[in-house]
Amino acid sequence: MFARTCLAVVAALCLHAPVMAQPSSVTRTEDVIYGRRDNLALTLDVFGPPKGKANGAGVIICISGDFKSDKAYLGLAERLIFPEFLDRGYTVFAVQHGSQPRFTVPEIVEDMHRAVRFIKANAKKHGVNPDKLGIAGMSSGGHLSLMMGVAGKPGDPAAADPVDRESSKVAAVACFFPVTDFQAFEANPPKGFAPDALFPFREFDAKAGKFTTVTPERRRELGRDCSPLHCATKDAAPVRILHGDKDELVPLSQSERLIERLKQFDVVCELGVKKGMTHSARQAVPHLPEIREWFDRYLLEKK
């Protein structure tokens, strides 16, 4: 779905975006293993703010495009996104998840639940209050951010693993042009979208002794279960979404419908419609202060 766009985004960022170097006193802890899937390590990097600036809050950044997560995306985010938060004293947790096509979207969502729990369990080591964590992302990263914000799960006090005792709920969400309802893509697919592109699910058929493709009905059920629109409740964290009115890949209606649903639950939420903006990370970067200001308001209680 997003593959061609994500390649274009990477190229555009490299060619057109300004370089924002990290201050020399920013610290980085690389490749922290927060979990494993199929015996493959799931990792995150921790970026500490300049000395003397730490504010005790953290921002989790979903390193994700097309539900893929790699070092190229991380490198761009380090240059173009993280300084907005580090310069204001936030600790940044850059999370990489399992990637498509090897892993499905529901598995990737579970990776993010694990990551948030791990960050909470280890937050104090990095000078962060686990109750002051926000989460952000673009496109598929926006979707994953919203899943943590509207459908964070409680911890299990009896779990053997202390990480699993933590909840995956966050205190605030802010994101760009997210997918909020996968079912809508099947009903009205954008140009170039394959209905099963995000859900090439296989389930084991014991009688046949092999994995077989799920039915369209089962695929829609799975899509609903990992759509923020259908997971939202009154317990959702404050949500801010920024979305362009010229986005032809993820229609603005995806964000409008979620905001309408959240308002029905009296959840604090805002939608910023950006005139002329497409599904473009390059166009999104100048609006990062609005993302950071949301976290200032709900993590630092700044008006």
pLDDT tens across 226-282, in order? 999 999 999 999 999 999 999 999 999 999 999 999 999 999 999 999 999 999 999
Q: What tokens were used for 255?
A: 């964000």
Q: Per-domain residue ranges for the chain?
A: 3-299
pLDDT digits 0-9 by tens, 53-64:
999 999 999 999
Which CATH architecture fits 3-299?
3-Layer(aba) Sandwich (3.40)
Nearest residue to 130 via CA among 56, 235, 62: 56
Q: What is the pTM of this model?
A: 0.88
Asked whether the predicted pLDDT for residue 15 surpasses 60, the reply is: no
| Burial annotation 124-135 (CB, 10 A radius, 16+ → b, else e) | eebebebebbbb
C-alpha distance from residue 12 to each of 21, 46, 82, 210, 248 (Å): 18, 26, 18, 43, 17
Of 5-19, 74-88, 186-200, the poorest mean pLDDT is in 5-19
